[in-house]
């Protein structure tokens, strides 16, 4: 239910896109050209191509896997401040919920130093881009922790609460925090991160919703 799409073009470096940002995409093929949707970059731009990774959450995203090679694409952007430029502290914590891992995966190509990643999913098979993350981890040495559990259970409801966050990351209050996920999870974890002592100016949130 997840597909990555690579969009190539000339002089893409002129867009000045940064890891963590998103574009509004319109694929110019029959039955789709009239519909535009925002998707974050799931890899750092290299000047030759842009990549998005999309989970099938609706008709548009579910059909992206069938887009023919060579389809022309209109991209509006880049948008967003969920980028490394927002970093004010040496220590960083990145928290991803589900497909919210995509901009964080892109950010990890450019973030260095003391970096911890918490990747929250309900079931292990939802850990998309897992192999890429582990490959990046081997090169960069960041701390990657997978937080798996059903939020409808007593044990699952404790995951990423303020006490649990402090267990996972004892120096949480000293870190710049980037959080990305579906609106419900993002709002919940944002509240718990604040309860754990992170000041508002050190917390950056991106919500994913179609």
Q: Tens digit of pLDDT for each residue in 171-209?
A: 999 999 999 999 999 999 999 999 999 999 999 999 876
CB environment 163-189: b (16+ within 10 A), e (fewer):
eebbebbeebbebbbbbbbbeebbebb
Q: What single DSSP character describes residue 108?
A: T
- 143-148 and 49-55 strand pairing: unpaired
Q: What is the DSSP string of 30-80?
A: TTTTT--EEEEBSS---SSEEEEEEE--SHHHHTGGGPPTT--EEEEEEE-
For the chain, the residue count is: 210
Is the model's pLDDT at 59 over the cut of 70?
A: no
pLDDT at 55: 87
**pLDDT of 72 above 80:** yes
Q: What is d(CA 195, CA 44) in angstroms, rounded to the nearest whole number?
A: 32
* Average pLDDT of every residue of the chain: 93
Residue 209 confidence (pLDDT): 63
Residue 63 is predicted with a pLDDT of: 80
For position 35, what pLDDT does the model report?
83
Residue 154: band (very low, low, confident or very high) from pLDDT cuts 50, 70, 90: confident
Angle subtended at Cα 98 by Cα 183 and Cα 35, rounded to the nearest 5 degrees: 65
- Nearest-angstrom CA–CA distance, 204 and 94: 10
Q: What is the mean pLDDT of residues 16-21?
A: 97
- Token digits for 111? 């973030």
- The mean pLDDT value for 42-47 works out to 96
Higher pLDDT: 31 or 149? It is 149
The residue behind tokens 């694929």 is 27
| pLDDT in the model for residue 9 | 94
- pTM value surpassing 0.75: yes
Residue 132, both tokens: 């890429």
Which comes out higher in pLDDT, residue 53 or 209?
Answer: 53
């Amino acid at each position: 239910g997840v597909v990555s799409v690579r969009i190539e073009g000339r002089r893409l470096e002129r867009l000045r896109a940064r890891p963590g940002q998103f574009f509004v995409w319109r694929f110019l093929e029959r039955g789709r050209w009239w519909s535009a949707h925002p998707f974050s970059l799931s890899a750092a731009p290299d000047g030759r191509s842009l990549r998005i990774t999309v989970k099938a959450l609706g008709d548009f995203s579910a059909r992206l896997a069938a887009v023919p090679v060579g389809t022309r694409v209109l991209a509006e952007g880049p948008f967003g401040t969920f980028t490394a430029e927002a970093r004010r502290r040496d220590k960083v914590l990145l928290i991803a919920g589900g497909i919210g891992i995509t901009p964080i995966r892109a950010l990890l190509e450019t973030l260095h130093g003391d970096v911890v990643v918490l990747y929250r999913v309900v079931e292990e098979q939802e850990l998309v881009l897992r192999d890429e993350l582990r490959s990046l981890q081997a090169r960069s040495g960041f701390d990657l922790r997978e937080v798996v559990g059903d939020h409808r259970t007593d044990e699952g409801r404790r995951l990423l609460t303020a006490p649990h966050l402090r267990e996972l990351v004892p120096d949480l209050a000293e870190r710049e925090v980037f959080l990305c996920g579906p609106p419900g999870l993002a709002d919940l974890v944002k509240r718990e991160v604040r309860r754990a002592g992170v000041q508002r100016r050190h917390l950056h949130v991106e919500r994913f919703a179609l």
